[in-house]
Structure 1
């Protein structure tokens, strides 16, 4: 199976969630199931069925996180020499050539992407246009409204 790129921050957040699910969430659900069992007839016991459903979601998420971490290729750009190129994990400041608007994006793995926090997926068209570019290069991004030119202003490995 191919390794999936992930920033060190993204991997750490998944490890923290996994630890929470295993050490806090799972024991609470098990306790809720045991408590609901004591109420007798399981066929009509809503608390029991709700707790079992939560258990299913929790165990599914634990398996999902473990699979992601086992297939992750953790890339920490802070430990790399900045050669000025836009790479996975880099933070890039760009200028929309047409509108003169400046944007800052960080290129991250699919699971970490969150446009509200300016975290864009390495597989997004905008990130693909930026990768390999250097300061003063112009990246052409195809959008539904047509091509947009972005000038690379700064590349940081932070």
Structure 2
């Protein structure tokens, strides 16, 4: 069995790697992914390829840490480029605002108030651009799912790991 790639068995129904991602993205999120892909292909890839070439020219590759390290970085970079190429092709850009802007839909910026009085602002975005530090939540998250279709002054009940949370919708707007 030596040399075989052995992984532990996972139930396909419970494996998080088999979860389907929503293929929606805002125009800004798409541009960010496209810029990352372009940077990796036009800047990072040539830099690493040159470093690998220079390290390979030094002779014995088996004991050349510089060659091994840069080759690994190059392979990771190429893997990320392949992933971004596939993902960018699969994404659907949602650029239009919904006709009924009084309800919460994809790309909405929402201000909420927790039942204890704490306020927070969120934007509902695709999984590729979700970032809690920028207050952008994944449309597939329990919070976003609970918010979809709600209006101002609606009560929103979210099933959180530490129990049920209640929020009230204070405002809804859609960015340009």
Which bracket does the TM-score occupy, shorter chain normalised? over 0.9
Conserved 8 A contact 2:21-2:140:
no
Instruction: Give the TM-score normalised by structure 2.
Output: 0.83
Q: Answer 1 or 2: which has greater strand percent.
A: 1
Q: Match of 2:82?
A: 63
Change (3 A) 1:47 1:155: same
SS in 1 for 2:152: coil
Q: Match of 1:92?
A: 110
Change (3 A) 1:68 1:32: same
Conserved 8 A contact 1:3-1:73:
no
SS in 2 for 1:23: helix
User: Unaligned regions of 5+ residues in structure 1, if any?
Assistant: none
For residues 19-52 of structure 1, the C-alpha deviation after alignment (integer angstroms, 9 at most, x for no partner) is 1001100000110011111111112111111111
Matches within 5 A, 1:71-82: 71-77=90-96, 79-81=97-99
Q: Match of 2:37?
A: 18
TM superposition shift of 1:145: 2.7
TM superposition shift of 1:149: 1.5
Q: Match of 1:28?
A: 47
Q: CA RMSD in A?
A: 1.7
Q: Match of 1:155?
A: 172
Q: Answer 1 or 2: which has greater helix percent.
A: 1
Q: Match of 1:123?
A: 140
- Equivalent residue in structure 1 for 2:59, among 40, 58, 72: 40
SS in 2 for 1:112: coil
Deviates most, 125-134 or 106-115 = 106-115
SS in 2 for 1:120: strand
User: Unaligned regions of 5+ residues in structure 2, if any?
Assistant: 1-19
How many pairs are equivalent? 156
Deviates most, 47-56 or 137-146 = 137-146
Change (3 A) 1:74 1:155: same
